[in-house]
Amino acid sequence: MNNRTTSSIDITPLDEYNQQLLAHVHPPDWINPAPKAQYDLVVIGAGTAGLVVAAGAAGLGIGLKVALIEKHLMGGDCLNVGCIPSKALISSARVVGIMNNADSLGVKKPDNIEVDFPAVMARMRQIRAGISHHDSAQRFRDLGIDVFLGQGHFLRNNKIEVGETILNYKKAVIATGARAVKPDIPGIEEVGFLTNETVFSLTKCPDRLAVIGGGPIGCELAQAFQRLGARVTLLHRGDHLLNKEDPEAAEIVQQSLLKDGIKLVLNVKLERAEFTENGKVLHYSNNGELGSVIVDEILVGAGRAPNVEGLNLEAVGVKFDHRGVKVNDYLQTTNPQIYAAGDICMDWKFTHAADAAARIVIKNTLFSPFGLGRSKLSHLTMPWVTYTDPEIAHVGLNETTADALDLGYKTIKIPFSQVDRAIAAGETEGFLKIIHIANSDEILGATIVAPHAGEMISEITTAMVNKIGLSKLSGVIHPYPTQAEAIKKAADTYRRTLLTNNTKNLLKILAKFPSKLF
């Protein structure tokens, strides 16, 4: 049997960085191993969830036999077309934002900010290639994992086929992720469009760019490309951007995008796309009126579809629909021997969510005999960050979700205009908002809007996970001056609510006693 694989992966431009990337995450000369008689665990998909499951199981050092299957690029979306390339791009764009704001800090703004877009993209590719060894086929083989490059699918219970090779398994994990979908716009396919899976192959900045979708991906990339030299039109079907965020937080980001020069078209319905001699044309209706925009490129930042095709899930009784593979709270599919993790089955489509879910799968597949001691997905406290400038970081409930659950809660809001470090940095346009149970210091959730909100949210997440209330946070010394001091200010605000009139009267009486009595 010939186990040699051939690489049909097309990555452009095929420069030294992308060649290095391919050598790590889909080596052209890779030879699949001879399969073991039976595997304790077979994982289909080598994105974040699959990598963590495989490495976690193999790394226990107890002799588990683990196989990992990947048909495309190891590392999945995060490494190749998601977190890493987008944040590299955003970092370059943020420099432009700082330079544009230089005058307010007493520094003369350059007359002409020159962006070397090819260099920006080359830097991104260099960074991606430089860290790709962490997700490489060779590294996982060195961990004792049998890595198979190719399309894997279920044959029947306890059997998976990769090419002509059959893998027998005790337990299997589906971690094939999700992909960007083609929008339902007549003519869009003929005109051509970009997604997060293709936009990072650009070597020239489009002069005119339409971004479809005002969610996190759309907002992040719209702002980045505007700052890097494109004239961006952002089209969104809602009446404001970032519909899932706190409305006050979303409004601050929306105003920031407008300040950057992005043209926003809200409440939009996209009617059709066509190609003309002047460029690609998107026709839309907006509040009953027709409009259009002419651009050089269209970037679709809305809509994800689960990668269930080709897995032959019907053969093993795994139910799925347009949202993905069906799982219970233990991440178990409708086949008790098969689990799933990551974008293929979860509403939280974040790398850190996939990582956390993978750890649940390791425990539940291997170390919960007879179902005892299993971990639940619903027990996770999940933060997330939208990496615009400023960022929005969120964990737990916000006022909208708390209202929907009819919870009795109180809100503490600390504007960054009241935080000395934010004032000194000229970064006052944002806030910290914490909601807690009424008459209790138990934190229900928080939203932070700040340039580095993502670096701050973990303190509140840690408090929530460990049942640390606002009273104890008030006693935590925060370095001065830092923007994280806003968290202490919020906790102190709660403590002051405990000073009722009765408490104050008691303190007045105690203050009158001579100190030597104590």
* Segments in the chain below pLDDT 70: 1-8, 501, 503-504, 506-507, 510, 514-518
Q: For position 371, what pLDDT does the model report?
A: 86
DSSP 103: G
Q: For position 370, what pLDDT does the model report?
A: 85
Same domain membership, residue 310 and residue 286: no
**Number of folded domains that form the chain:** 3
- 337: in domain: yes
Q: Are 209 and 297 in contact (CB under 8 A)?
A: yes
- 195: in domain: yes
Farthest CA pair distance, the chain: 93
- 102: in domain: no
Same domain membership, residue 319 and residue 357: yes
Same domain membership, residue 495 and residue 436: yes
Same domain membership, residue 314 and residue 253: no
- 8: in domain: no
Residue 480 Rama label (left phi>0; alpha psi -120 to 50; beta): beta
What is the Cα–Cα distance from 265 to 235, expressed in whole angstroms? Answer: 5
- 105: in domain: no
Domain boundary among 271, 286, 302: 302
Same domain membership, residue 173 and residue 67: yes
- 113: in domain: no
Same domain membership, residue 480 and residue 333: no
Q: For position 288, what pLDDT does the model report?
A: 85
Domain boundary among 264, 282, 302: 302
- 508: in domain: no
Q: What predicted TM-score, i.e. pTM, was given to this entire model?
A: 0.94
Q: Both tokens of residue 37?
A: 């008689």
Same domain membership, residue 484 and residue 352: no
What domain range includes position 279? 188-302
Domain boundary among 256, 273, 302: 302
Same domain membership, residue 166 and residue 199: no
Q: For position 499, what pLDDT does the model report?
A: 75
Q: Is the dihedral of CA 449, 452, 455, 456 positive or negative?
A: negative
Which CATH number do you get for residue 132?
3.50.50.60
Q: Both tokens of residue 477?
A: 């010394």
Output phi, psi for 79, to 5 deg.
-70, -45
Same domain membership, residue 336 and residue 324: yes
Q: For position 9, what pLDDT does the model report?
A: 85
Closest CA to 333 of 173, 179, 178: 173
DSSP 417: G
Same domain membership, residue 158 and residue 241: no
- 66: in domain: yes
Residue 272: which residues within 8 A CB-CB, separation 6 or more? 185, 186, 187, 283
Which CATH number do you get for residue 496?
3.30.390.30
> What is the tens place of the pLDDT at every residue in 78-114?
999 999 999 999 999 999 999 999 999 999 998 899 9
Q: For position 439, what pLDDT does the model report?
A: 93
> What is the tens place of the pLDDT at every residue in 234-259?
999 999 999 999 999 999 999 999 99
Q: Classify each residue of 191-221 as buried b or exposed e, where b means 16 or more C-beta atoms within 10 Å of its C-beta.
A: bebbbbeebbbbeebbebbbbbbbbbbbbbb
Q: For position 1, what pLDDT does the model report?
A: 45
Same domain membership, residue 311 and residue 271: no
